[in-house]
Chain A
C-alpha cells in the first residue's frame, strides 16, 4: 500500500441475499484528498461506507483503511476515522457539549484532553454559543455541523461524510462545504457521498460516479468532462463586430462556431481559446461584453454518460484516474 494512500478498495462486493448492492468496486483515496462518491439513492454509496467502517459484513473483495482491515480490526479503523452518517442524530435531551462528551468518553480521551478538544471543535464549527444548549433546539444545519465537530474532536485522519449537504439550505450548505475544505487544509482525507452532483462538484478533487452498485466513472471533473462530453472546450462570447464569426473560426484549434443569439456566439475548440478570441474582438475594435468558458458540469457528464449507454455499463472502460 502506497504511503500516500489512505483508503484502498479492491473488488469490494456486498450481497444482500441474491441482490448485489455493491459490485466489485475498486478505488483509492490519497492523503489530504477530497473524494466524492456520487450517484443516485440506492446506488451502493452508503453500503460502501459502512463496509469501510466495519459496520456491515463484506461479501467479497478487500478494503484497507489506513492499512487496517475494517472487518478484522474495526476498533483501529474506528479510532482513526470520523463518520458523519446520513441525517446524523444526537441525544436531544443532552446539550451539544454533553453529546460530544459521551463520544469522547467512548473514544477514551482523558478528562482534561476531552474538555479541550470539545471546546476547540465546537468553536471551529461555529457553535460555541450553543455548546450548552440542548440539541433538541438545533436546526438540521447545526446538527450537521455538530457532527463535523465530533470528527474534529476525534482528531480523525479520514472523515467519511454521508450525504452531508442533503436537506440543507444554500447558506448552510456553503458553510458546511467551507468546513469540509478546512479538513483538506489540515491534511485530513475526506470521503463524501452525495446524490446532489453540482453541490459537491466544487469541493471534490476526484469523484467516482456510482450506478447500480458499480463505479461507472472515476477521475477529476474536467477529466470526466473531456471523456464523456466528447472532449473540447465550449467558449461563449458576446460581442459586436461584422464578420466576427468568420474571424473566430480561423483561430487554430477552433472546430466550429455557432450563433446562439444576437451578438452571441459559441465556439467549440480543443483547448481554451479565450485569449485569442479576446484578441480578435479587440483587433476588430468590437465591444466585448462577455467571454466565458463552460466548466463541464457533473450533471451533464452523468446525464450524457447514461444516455449514451442505456443498460450497458462496462466497468473500467472510462476510468480516467
Chain B
C-alpha cells in the first residue's frame, strides 16, 4: 500500500525547530561549557607534556589529541566519555517529552508523517552535536598552533578531520540509543536512567565482562600462561566480544587514525610482520582501511538503533 505524499514533508521545519530548541536550551549550554572546560584542561596537560619531551616526532600535532599528563587523561579519552553524555543529554526526552507536554497528537494532526518528526529530531540532534564537535576541533587546532607554534601538516589535518567525522558518528550511536529509549519509555527520567545505565555497562563493565566470558568459554591454556602469554583463542574471543561495544570500536578507530604507526587492531601474526618496517607510519588511506570495519560497524549501529525506534514509534498510540 503506497502512502500519499512524501514521508519527509515537514522534515526541514521539524529539524530547524528542534535545532533552535537545542541551541537555546540551558541544558545544551551547560553541556557545552562542560566539554569546553574539560577539553581545555586536557589540552593544556597535553601541551605541557609535549613541551617537556624534546624527541622529534613527525606527527607532533596529533599528539595533542592523545597525549596525557597525570592526573588528567588525554583529550581523546575525555571526549569518549563526554560525547555519549552530551548525545544522551540531547536525546533522552525527545519523543516522550512531546508526550508529556501533550504536543504530540497536536503536531501529528498536521499534514506530516511521523517519519518527518522522528527523523527531524534525530537530524537536529546530530547537527547540534556536529556544531559542537567542529567548534571543539577548531579550538584544539587553533590552540595547538598558538601554544606549540608548529603548523600541522596536511596529513595531520586530514587525520584529525577523519577523527572528527568518526566522533560525530560515535555521537550518533548514543543519540540513536537515547532516541530509542525516549520512544520506549513514557517517562523522561526512566529513559535517561536506562540510557545512562546502558552507557556505563557498555563502556566500563563490558570490557571486563568480555574477558571473563572469553575465559569461561575458551579456558586459557596453561602452557601459554606459563610463558606469561595470552592464549590466542581466548584473546580472539575476548576481542570479538569487546567489539560489540561501540566504545571499543571508537577507541580502536582513534588508535588507528591518530597513531599512524598502528598496523593492526588486535593480535598480530608473524606473517603480517614480514617485510614491515616497525614504527614506520602508514599513509592515511591505509590507516582508514585498518579502522574501516569499526567505522562501518558504528554507522550500522546508528542505523539499526534508529530503525528499531522508527518501527516502534510508527506503531505507538499517540494518545496520552
Contact = CB atoms under 8 A, between A and B. Distances in A.
B101 A91 contact: yes
A56 interface: yes
A91 B109 CA distance: 16
Interface stretch (A31-39, A78-86, A212-220, A236-244): A78-86
Contact of B13 (A53, A56, A89, A106): A106
A147 B110 CA distance: 13
Contacts of A88: 102, 106
B106 A85 contact: yes
Contact of A83 (B5, B9, B106): B106
A68 to B, nearest CB: 9
Contacts of A103: 106-107, 110
B318 A50 contact: yes
B214 interface: no
Contacts of B5: 75
B14 to A, nearest CB: 7
A107 B10 CA distance: 8
Nearest to B112: A106
Chain A interface: which size bin? 20 to 34
A92 B107 CA distance: 14
Interface in B105-121: 105-113
A147 B106 contact: yes
Interface in B87-129: 101-103, 105-113
B318 to A, nearest CB: 5
A56 B109 CA distance: 11
User: Do most interface residues of chain A lie in helix, strand or loop, or is the interface mixed?
Assistant: mixed
User: Do most interface residues of chain B lie in helix, strand or loop, or is the interface mixed?
Assistant: loop
Contacts of B107: 103, 106
Interface in B294-320: 317-320
Interface residues of B, number: 27
Interface in A210-233: none
B17 interface: yes
Contacts of A150: 106
Nearest to B108: A55
B4 interface: yes
Nearest to B116: A106
B10 A85 contact: no
A92 B106 CA distance: 14
A75 B4 contact: yes
B55 interface: no
B4 A74 contact: yes
A89 B102 contact: yes
Interface string A66-103: 00000011111011011111111111110000000011
B103 A90 contact: yes
A73 B94 CA distance: 27
A53 B107 CA distance: 12
A83 B109 CA distance: 6
A239 to B, nearest CB: 54
A56 B318 contact: yes
A85 B105 CA distance: 7
Contacts of A47: 319
Interface of B: 1, 3-5, 9-10, 13-14, 17, 21, 24, 101-103, 105-113, 317-320
6 contacts: A75-B113, A76-B4, A79-B111, A89-B101, A90-B106, A147-B106
